[in-house]
Structure 1
Amino acid sequence: MTAQLHVRGGGAGAPVLLLLHGLGATGAVWDGWRPLLAARWPGRWLAPDLPGHGRSAALPGYTFDALAGAVAGLLTPGEPAVVLGHSLGGVVGLALAAGHPAAGVRAAVGLGVKVAWTPEELDRARAVARRPVTWFGTRDEAAARHLRVSGLDGLLSAADPAVDEGLTEREGRWRPAADPAVAGVGEPGMAALLARVPAAVTLARGEHDPMNTDAQLAALGAPVVTLPGLGHNAHVQDPGRTLALLDPYR
């Protein structure tokens, strides 16, 4: 545990790779990467549960900078770092590179980031953030909600050990562990954020990701990589091809 964050990790040496999951998920989504990282990443790696997710503590309020500040403490000043973040985690990784120079981020890859928001979408997100926590009578009901909220429905089974990391049980009742308030983090303002990032940036997406388009990402001016045949959770669907996004930064 570091700064009230639950963290997975492995490897040794530099550069350190920071893997940041998306909204509603946990660091367990990277568990399938372990053998690949052992073979293909030269340094150590860290995969925290972001604040308000999994086993990590909640924050009193959620902004991208607050989330980035929470994970910045995982990195050793002066040690070169590379960040790969998915969706919400992609924005957090960019905010880390932009606002925390001591973290030593030399490259950031944002995968599956939603870069264009309508007023209606933002209203729905704020409504989700205001909802009270829903408790369920069975683990299976809570697991189904967790998989749906995290976008992992159809990619992981309810019985997958990774799902347990996203659930909280209390006195025989179950709920997704994610704090609903995180959904109200707001629009990332990608153009302004990217302008503040001194590190190398790559924006990536699965070909069938409904959360963004090639044109939307290309309009931001950073290099764009599209992964054929994959969707929003490309890192879960095909860890090997997604890990290849990091090859230039090893």
Structure 2
Amino acid sequence: MTGDVRLRGGGSGQRLLLLLHGLGATGEVWNPSRPLLTHGWPGRWLAVDLPGHGGSEPLPEYSCLTLAERIAKTLPVDDRMVVLGHSLGGAVGLALAGRRFDLPVAAVVALGVKVAWTAEELARAEALARRPVARYATRAEAASRYLRVSGLTGLVDGDDPIVDAGLREEDEGWRLAMDPAAFAVGAPDLPALLADCAAQVLLARGERDPMVTDAQLAGLGAPATTLADLGHNAHVEDPAAVLRLLHPYR
């Protein structure tokens, strides 16, 4: 834990890999990548719980920029940095590489970032953000809800440590660790984030990801790639395939 943001990491050296999860998840979603990072990344790595998720403190309001601002205050400023971010984490990674933060971000690999949002989708997210914290009588019930919110149903078992990080047991019962208000983070302004980004960028998606298409990524004008036969949580389905995207930036 550094300040209000929970970090876990490993490795050594001056080259830092920053791992940013998507909405509803925690830094533990990168657990399947950890054994591969031991030999596959030439430096240190840090997995972050985004503010309002897992063990990180909530924010008064949520946007890509407010999330990036809180994270930027916890990071070393003298290490060459590469960011691998999934979904919301990919958009936050682009924000961190913006000129306003003046961080030494050399490259951002943004995986599965949703490009197009409908008014109905944004209204649904705002409604979820206004709901009170839900309590569950059992861990199993809370785990089932966590897996749905984080998009990990069918990919991770309910008793996996990945799930533990997303739950809290309190006197009133079990709840998700996520601050419900984080649902109101809104649609990232990807053209603006890319225009302000001072780092190399690679946009990526799984071939079976229903949240973003090849055409949408191509329309952003940045280098893009598609991972064959993988879905939205490609980093959980095939960590090795996702980590290979980092090879040009090692």
TM-score normalised by L of structure 2: 0.98
Indicate if the aligned counterparts of 1:65 and 1:99 stay in contact, CA closer than 8 A: no
State the match for 1:121 in structure 2.
Answer: 121
User: Following the alignment from structure 2 to structure 1, what is the Cα–Cα distance between the partners of residues 42 and 228?
Assistant: 26
Deviations 1:202-225 (A, max 9, x none): 000000001000000010001111
State the match for 1:64 in structure 2.
Answer: 64
User: Following the alignment from structure 1 to structure 2, what is the Cα–Cα distance between the partners of residues 47 and 62?
Assistant: 20
What is the letter of the counterpart of residue 241 of structure 1? A
Of the structure 1 ranges 144-153 and 75-84, higher mean CA displacement relative to structure 2 is found in: 75-84
State the match for 2:55 in structure 1.
Answer: 55
Indicate if the aligned counterparts of 1:21 and 1:86 stay in contact, CA closer than 8 A: yes
Deviations 1:161-184 (A, max 9, x none): 110100011016001111111110
User: Following the alignment from structure 1 to structure 2, what is the Cα–Cα distance between the partners of residues 166 and 207?
Assistant: 27
Indicate if the aligned counterparts of 2:7 and 2:48 stay in contact, CA closer than 8 A: yes
What is the letter of the counterpart of residue 191 of structure 1? P
1:101 positional shift? 4.1
- Identical counterparts, % of pairs: 61
State the match for 2:157 in structure 1.
Answer: 157
User: Following the alignment from structure 2 to structure 1, what is the Cα–Cα distance between the partners of residues 121 and 223?
Assistant: 26
User: Following the alignment from structure 1 to structure 2, what is the Cα–Cα distance between the partners of residues 54 and 222?
Assistant: 31
Indicate if the aligned counterparts of 2:99 and 2:198 stay in contact, CA closer than 8 A: no
State the match for 2:194 in structure 1.
Answer: 194
Indicate if the aligned counterparts of 1:24 and 1:53 stay in contact, CA closer than 8 A: yes
State the match for 2:212 in structure 1.
Answer: 212
State the match for 1:97 in structure 2.
Answer: 97
Cα RMSD of the aligned pairs, angstroms, is 1.0
Deviations 1:115-153 (A, max 9, x none): 111111111111111111100000000000000000000
In the alignment, structure 2 segments of 5+ residues that lack a partner are none
User: Following the alignment from structure 1 to structure 2, what is the Cα–Cα distance between the partners of residues 99 and 31?
Assistant: 31
User: Following the alignment from structure 1 to structure 2, what is the Cα–Cα distance between the partners of residues 40 and 154?
Assistant: 27
Of the structure 1 ranges 133-142 and 165-174, higher mean CA displacement relative to structure 2 is found in: 165-174
Indicate the SS of the match to 2:175.
strand
State the match for 1:235 in structure 2.
Answer: 235
What is the letter of the counterpart of residue 69 of structure 2? G
Indicate the SS of the match to 1:102.
coil
Indicate if the aligned counterparts of 2:72 and 2:101 stay in contact, CA closer than 8 A: no
Aligned residues: 250
Indicate the SS of the match to 2:102.
helix
Indicate if the aligned counterparts of 1:207 and 1:227 stay in contact, CA closer than 8 A: yes
Structure 1 runs (4+) greater than 6 angstroms displaced: none
In the alignment, structure 1 segments of 5+ residues that lack a partner are none
User: Following the alignment from structure 1 to structure 2, what is the Cα–Cα distance between the partners of residues 233 and 205?
Assistant: 9
Indicate the SS of the match to 1:236.
helix
What is the letter of the counterpart of residue 4 of structure 1? D
Indicate if the aligned counterparts of 1:2 and 1:73 stay in contact, CA closer than 8 A: no
Deviations 1:85-106 (A, max 9, x none): 0001001000110144432101
Indicate if the aligned counterparts of 2:135 and 2:172 stay in contact, CA closer than 8 A: no
Indicate if the aligned counterparts of 1:210 and 1:231 stay in contact, CA closer than 8 A: yes
State the match for 1:85 in structure 2.
Answer: 85
The residue correspondences of 1:11-30 to structure 2 (distance < 5 A) are 11-30=11-30
Of the structure 1 ranges 55-64 and 74-83, higher mean CA displacement relative to structure 2 is found in: 74-83
TM-score normalised by L of structure 1: 0.98
